[in-house]
Amino acid sequence: MSNLSSYHKRLFVFLSVATFFEGYDFMALSQVLPNIQSEMGLSEAALGNLVGVISAGTIVSYFLIRMADKWGRRRVLTITILGYALLTLMTATSRGPVDFAIYQFTARIFLIAEWALCMVYAAEEFPADQRGFVLGLIQAFNSLGSITCAVVAPLTAGYTAGVAQRLSGRGHSTTTHRLRTSRNSRNEALRGIAASSGR
């Protein structure tokens, strides 16, 4: 890594942050499933259907990823970051399982497309002799994000629940607040790094 240019080093940080929070956010939904079921009064079957609808966004993301060849990598990556931030905000306003599923389904499209484009960026931009190492290291940040979420989410559950209830007075906002909190920090980090990348 020492022989990489300053651009490649900034790009590596950007992609690592993006994949870290992709792993974090992917795990976050699993962490809050018990809250979703309790707060929205869902049966086991209804909860399974909810997760199935959200997960279907992974398949649909393929069509957005393909647009990178037509619109350009950077433009589509920017769209995924902004789109995911917007859908996260909209998720926090959900009032039931239907709109929650719609928002999270669309957010999943942007999230998976962002991760895929990060991998494409790494494969195309980094020197051939460093490519495999960089791809492996960036993907390791994805796993680290999942592990971090698994550790942090239970520890912050009580605090975020109290804050959410004081802010809105609605029980189901606990879940959406926990999702929004992690993603706000992610989006701020990505915007800051992207602004300094220069390309």
Question: Are 145 and 20 contacting, i.e. CB atoms less than 8 angstroms apart?
Answer: yes
Provide the whole-model pTM. Answer: 0.74
The pLDDT value recorded for residue 195 is 54
Minimum mean pLDDT among 23-32, 71-80, 108-117, 127-136: which range?
A: 23-32
Query: What's the chain's average pLDDT?
Result: 80
CA distance 81 to 190: 8
The full set of domain ranges for the chain reads 6-197
Rounded to whole angstroms, the maximal C-alpha distance in the chain is 55
pLDDT at 104 over 80: yes
8-59: pLDDT as tens digits:
888 899 889 888 988 888 788 888 888 888 888 889 999 999 999 999 999 9
What is the distance between the terminal CA atoms of the chain, rounded to a whole angstrom?
A: 19
Mean pLDDT within 86-114 = 91
Report the CATH superfamily, name and number, of domain 6-197. Answer: MFS general substrate transporter like domains (1.20.1250.20)
Asked whether the beta carbons of 190 and 81 are under 8 A apart, the reply is yes
pLDDT computed for residue 110 by the predictor: 95
At 49-93, the pLDDT tens digits run 999 999 999 999 999 999 999 999 889 999 998 998 899 889 888
